[in-house]
Chains A and B, each alone.
Chain A
Amino acid sequence: MSRPSLVLGLLVALAIVIFVRRQNASRAEHVDVYYEDGSMLSLDNGAPGAEPLLALAREALRGAPPARS
């Protein structure tokens, strides 16, 4: 395999890794709300209305550390 094609392959692989990691990171924070009528609303971080809910969730996680026995 020639050196230019090896470098190109590595660059493509790196781009794929960065893309996948960004996708996972953006999905890492989200809020799913389920309603009585069976509908569901999924808000990813950055969507309108998501940030206040995520801020409350972070507060809940900070304020409720697991009790160690």
Chain B
Amino acid sequence: MEISSQVQAAVVLDAAGDVVGAAGIGADGGRSLAGTARELLDRAATIRPAAGESGVTQLEAATRAGSVFLVREGERVIAATTGRAPTVGLVFYDLKTCLRALAAEVPKSEPAKPKAKPKTPRERGAAAGKDEHESP
């Protein structure tokens, strides 16, 4: 997972809230950040109940110690931490790009469809004869 130098740690969560990728953080820290990210999304949804949790697409929480960013695209959520006063637009752009890149990788990892069975000479001849009948 390639991310901006402003991002200190990042985790990607799937629909179930499980960590599917992490950068700049250990396994325990990743799980902790993922849990807090889920809680942040749940809390943010309560601010405007009409929007619901699915209505929240991005969140930035800036504190004196640093900032926490969340971006949701489809089923996936990416959470990241930065230092103080990050370039907000750039961080959001990076996180969205990261989620899109991950989404684009999913079809590549799916098993390829089996190739069509090659025709026998007899079948090829039958197909050619059919074409001859159909042609004017």
Contacts and interface: CB of A to CB of B under 8 A. Distances in A.
24 contacts: A28-B62, A29-B62, A29-B64, A31-B59, A33-B58, A34-B58, A35-B48, A36-B55, A37-B51, A41-B47, A49-B46, A49-B47, A52-B43, A53-B59, A56-B43, A57-B40, A57-B62, A57-B63, A60-B32, A61-B66, A61-B81, A64-B8, A65-B8, A67-B25
A36 B54 contact: yes
B36 A31 contact: no
A46 interface: no
Interface of B: 8-9, 24-26, 29-30, 32-33, 36-37, 39-40, 43-44, 46-48, 51, 54-68, 79, 81, 88
- Which DSSP category, helix, strand, loop or mixed, fits chain B's interface? mixed
Given A57-B67, A61-B81, A64-B33, A31 B62 contact: yes
Interface range on chain A (Cβ under 8 Å from partner): 20 to 34
Interface of A: 28-37, 41, 43, 49, 52-54, 56-67
